[in-house]
A and B are shown apart, each in its own frame.
Chain A
Amino acid sequence: MSVAGLIFSNIHDSAVPEFTTVRTMASVPFGCRYRLIDFPLSNMVNSGITKIGIITHNNYQSLMDHIGTGKDWDLARRSGGIKVLPPFITAYEGATGSKLYTTRLEALMGVMNFISRCNEDYLVLSDCDGICNIDLSEVIDFHIEKNADLTVVTRRLSADEADIKDATAISAEEDGAVKDASAYLRGVSGNEVSTNIVVVSRMFLLGALRDAAAHGYKHFYKDIVARRIGRARIYRYMYEKTFVHINSLEGYFASSMKLLDPTVRNGLFNVENMPIYTKLRNSAPTRYTSSAKVTNSYVADGCVIEGTVENCILFRGVRIGKGTVVKNCVLLQDTFTGNNVSLNCVITDKNAVICDGRMLSGHSSMPFFIPKGAMV
């Protein structure tokens, strides 16, 4: 069994524009020290996949910086390893390939070269908006056992996700054969949706892509999956373990806060044999001074804490000044808070500076966002 991976780094960018005006969805920071792409990358590496293509669209500087040569994921290889696949655009107006892709299917057609030059039998496709620690080799085994052409990994929506946008509802027979794939609509669809993690036989995908090119198809689920139900072997694999999804700034805030729940935290980061890798920064350990008071918080290395921190997610290099009280906040890398600052339900992007004595508060339904490098 040989498998290659493909990651879509920009799909869902529009879900959190606050973060993605300066970066891709893949490089949105999450969980103190990670970026969203660390999850699909680590899942693939932990399942023995060592050839991974990353499809980019725009704004991918921060992603390139994060990935580097891939050595932090042990993917700096002579053969295979990480291949960043920038959009294929010719400089000549009117020629084919002169426009950026707009859909998942177009993105796949843009990397036909990568797909056809792989010699692996299977491909795993993944987005970056779903955060989980999934053993993909189990999905691949399922795919092979069912002799499937395509297997969609699905999950059940939780009660607070009933109004989710941009999801694909999947319904299936008891044995897992997919009956229908359609845009999710509350009240109309069931609560089983695609995680956008898909295992596909490479030859099947190549055939489907050529067919799509010939017919001018645009949509992966509508034109590749739904159209082939009954003609191809399309299955679903239900994933029932921890899955956190980001589809808005409030969703980002809520998902971050879920990390304070031990079941979620352990389900993502403390799974036996399945570590989540990220770019190393060689920060010093975090220093708590004698004036620090910290409870129920998830903290990265490289912070210096001199104030009070409650129910927070602190990224690497955050400074909490003396007399400062920070509650229910997500403070990204190198956020600096001065002395006697008060923050509640605030999300700061990288390198934000909060000067002495400032008081800021949002609400969990509408967290206050401070953009990258801003000074308050």
Chain B
Amino acid sequence: MFRNKECVAMLLAGGQGSRLYALTEKNAKPAVPFGGKYRIIDFTLSNCVNSGIDTVGVLTQYQPLMLNDYIGNGLPWDLDRAYGGVKILPPYQGKNGADWYKGTANAIYQNLQFIDRYNPEYVLILSGDHIYKMDYDKMLDYHKKTNADCTIAVIDVPIEEASRFGIMSVDDEGKIFKFSEKPKNPDSTKASMGIYIFSKECLARYLIADAEDPDSSNDFGKNIIPNMLAAGEKLVAYPFSGYWKDVGTISSLWEANMDLLGDNPVLNLDDEEWRIYSRHEAHAPQFVGNGAVIDNSSLTEGCEIYGTVRNSIIGAGVKVMSGACVCDSVILEDVVVESGAQVNYSIIDSGTTVGKDCKIGVSKENAKEICVVGADINVPDGTVIDEGAMISKASDLVKEGR
């Protein structure tokens, strides 16, 4: 016999992340590396654990190999539990046929059985593509206190950006009376963060009804929330303030990385009270050689720096050889930047070698776009890759190179 879980988290991690191009070619977006030693999903998983939620279903669909491997038995997040813990939930074949996850709501619908095993009162729905630190327990308290059927976390966004988000119109008591997905003329600045707490019974009722509707696109934002509003259910907005960033595009991913730098970083990961956990290999400490120049940068275990690194995030096991220069860039795990090479305003994916005297990207002052070099590529000596290039295989170099 096991105790019931009060709240089970369901983490939507099946998105392709097509706007991250080369970075998600062989990798699901939640497993994209971030900040030198993390992956995007570490933030939601760590938030769960730090909030006392120990049962997390991770719904995977697109390129799940790396993500499955990364999550494993959940050990780095203390989610290797005797009962509960982290479970990977891929689409499956059932008695009445097999289906991919057709939308966010459908993905949860197909896993109602999983939720029922733990008999929870509440279900927390999360997505694995945001960088933020949040105490879901406080949100759950708010949900209970307001006696809501569904609580949606919202964050204030600048009015000029509001049309990129799902916008909530809220009365004085925090009750949502209108929801508009990406409105042209937003009448509120409260944007949905894609974090929902549902009372389980209510969620199941609406998911089942949604599944029976052939015209539905099976999406929380498009179907479930509007349907609940129309039926007069109690939906409340839980206001969140603090760092929160959607890292769905190359430029927002780059910016979020840069938010780790500076004398007082906007995003502080050096926080004993709210640690972000990650799975990492046993690396040696970082070595900074004679002649190295490191300026306003973040370095991770296992890297060796003999050249110049400015305003950059350097991942584990990276080597920057003498005479090489990395500026305004995000360098992922095990990349080698050979001597004389210049990397400017770029993201270089793991395992790639940048040959001697290569010129990757253009200095940030003169560049409009970030250059992206995919994983495990050998960039030959002397190659020049222009700003905004998107290199995902060695063969692309012929097209892009000059």
Contacts and interface: CB of A to CB of B under 8 A. Distances in A.
A183 to B, nearest CB: 36
Given A275-B281, A277-B282, A285 B37 contact: yes
Contacts of B265: 287
Interface string B289-308: 11110111111110000000
A146 interface: no
A35 B280 CA distance: 19
Contact of B290 (A285, A287, A290, A296): A296
A285 B288 contact: no
Contacts, number: 103
Contacts of B291: 295
B208 interface: no
B37 A294 contact: no
Interface string B145-183: 000000000000000000000000000000000000000
Interface stretch (B57-65, B229-237, B271-279, B387-395): B271-279
B270 A283 contact: yes
Nearest to B261: A287
Nearest to A278: B282
Contacts of A287: 260-261, 265, 270, 297-298
Q: Please indicate which of the listed interface residues A269, A280, A285, A298 has the most CB atoms of chain B within 10 Å of its own CB.
A: A285
A189 interface: no
B356 to A, nearest CB: 20
A284 interface: yes
Nearest to B301: A301
Interface in A297-326: 297-302, 304, 306, 309
B75 interface: yes
Residues of B in contact with A, size category: 35 or more
22 contacts: A33-B301, A42-B282, A71-B75, A280-B76, A282-B276, A284-B35, A284-B298, A285-B36, A285-B260, A285-B313, A285-B314, A288-B297, A288-B298, A289-B263, A292-B295, A295-B289, A295-B291, A299-B285, A300-B286, A300-B301, A301-B301, A304-B270
Ranked 8 nearest A-B pairs via Cβ? A269-B284, A32-B285, A284-B269, A275-B282, A285-B36, A290-B296, A284-B270, A285-B300
Interface of B: 35-37, 75-76, 260-263, 265, 268-271, 275-278, 280-292, 294-301, 313-314
Given A288-B295, A295-B288, 16 more contacts: A269-B284, A280-B76, A284-B298, A285-B37, A285-B299, A286-B298, A287-B261, A288-B294, A288-B297, A288-B299, A289-B296, A298-B286, A298-B287, A299-B286, A300-B286, A301-B300
